[in-house]
Amino acid sequence: MFIIKNNNHLNSEHLEERALPSKRFPRWDTSSFPEELKVMIELLRDRRPPAVCPKRQPSDGFDWLRFAALAVHHRVHPLIIRRLKHELQPDIPQDVLERLEAQCRDNTIRMLHLSGETGRIASLFRDRDIRMLVLKGPALSLDLYGDLSIRPSGDVDLLVPLSDIGEAGRLLQKFGYVKDDYIRSVLGDWRWRHHHYAFVHPETGSKIELHWRMHPWPAREPSFDALWDRRRTMMIGGRPVDLPGLEDTFLFLASHGARHGWSRLRWLLDIDRIMRMPLRWDRVAAELRHLACGHIGGQALRLAAGLLGTPIPEGARQAADHPRAIVLAEEALFYIGRVVNLHSPPLPPDVARHHSRHLLNLMTPRQRLLFRLSYLHPYHADAEALPLPKALHFLYYPLRPVIWMWRKMRIPVQSGGDSA
């Protein structure tokens, strides 16, 4: 376990590039991106102090309202507004500036509240001997940026061992949280078809995602015990909280961003920041090989280097040069070049098709086989179509093909999850 004593080296608004042997990758072709997005990427890419940055002059048709909406969509408005005030100040309409400043104020208040909640829940779990790792939220913002308010977040993601998930959920409910019972399960498939529960506090609006896995099955990931042995500890909300090790944090961020198509630039900024920290790449590379996800780590590196100028150390070149990493990075430009919110279905048909292909392309051949075989396992929709006593639920296995055909003919499909 490591203790994070001081993040002051990250507290500067403009981080200096680390003096490591690195490879520079060519910039991605963003000519098809709207001008507002290209200007935003340039602002994020430029790490020079504002005093030495050239004044940027947007074109006459520059849409400031669209620019502000893109900054909020990509969750980078706290960083953007710091540079805007110097580099584009004379051209920013006052109402746009005020709108962004209001968003930043709201975010700061929310992050302060979530940091307090994170500390209180960590203490609650520690008193009950429940091991807990904080994956995202204010702790990640403080860890990567040295500032709670830089990385906006609407919830806190917590990881606990599967054996403790029931007790942890009951403690959250005692703490005033209400469980969102959106998961429907049969024959215990919740353990692998899902990877977290959601809890919302009705009075404060705080949201907690309680994980027993970091990522959806069939992705491979380290065991909780391994993550716990490599954990770091930091103070947040006046209380100690545990985080995954720095190398495990990189692996988590790379896989999380890949699964969401890197549809928000905030996730690439996270990669950029963590690559400027004392990351032991030999350990990262070993874990990428062990988990068979070198192409996913390489995708993150390729995108961050090509869009944000992230330096890639020599030890990371094998992952960044992975042929699949290059293809996956090109696929992700589809999401970045347009406003895609994967959390707001229904998705446009072209986005839905692209995302389905992208998720399959992230899998290894073995994972794709397991994923397709999982359709043979009964779904909760089968139990709804043909209710059986729990003692007879094993019959859903041989009956699965018959029930599936019957549902297709008789019952309109309402969601992708029940269409299998």
Domain edges within the chain? 245-369, 378-418
pLDDT band at 53 (very low <50, low <70, confident <90, very high): low
pTM: 0.89
SS3 at position 241: strand
Let me know: does 191 contact 162? Beta carbons within 8 Å: yes
Give the pLDDT confidence of 243-296 residue by residue, as tens digits.
999 999 999 999 999 999 999 999 999 999 999 999 999 999 999 999 999 999
- Measured CA distances, 101 to 71, 83, 163, 215, 291 (Å): 12, 13, 44, 34, 42
pLDDT band at 9 (very low <50, low <70, confident <90, very high): very low
Average pLDDT, the chain: 88
Residue 414, pLDDT > 60, answer no
- Average pLDDT for 38-43: 92
> In this predicted structure, what is the pLDDT of residue 330?
95
| Helix boundaries (H) for 260-374 | 265-274, 281-290, 294-308, 317-320, 323-336, 349-362, 365-373
Residue 19, pLDDT > 60, answer no
pLDDT band at 407 (very low <50, low <70, confident <90, very high): confident
Q: Is the dihedral of CA 149, 155, 157, 160 positive or negative?
A: positive
pLDDT band at 55 (very low <50, low <70, confident <90, very high): low
Distance of CA 147 to the CA centre of its chain: 18
For every residue of 377-403, DSSP letters joined together read S--HHHHHHS---GGGGGGHHHHHHHH
pLDDT band at 238 (very low <50, low <70, confident <90, very high): confident
Cα(336)–Cα(339) distance, integer angstroms: 7
Name the residue with higher pLDDT: 24 or 401: 401
First to last CA, the chain: 43
Name the residue with higher pLDDT: 11 or 188: 188
> In this predicted structure, what is the pLDDT of residue 418?
47
Give the pLDDT confidence of 68-102 residue by residue, as tens digits.
999 999 999 999 998 877 665 557 888 888 999 99
- Average pLDDT for 392-398: 92
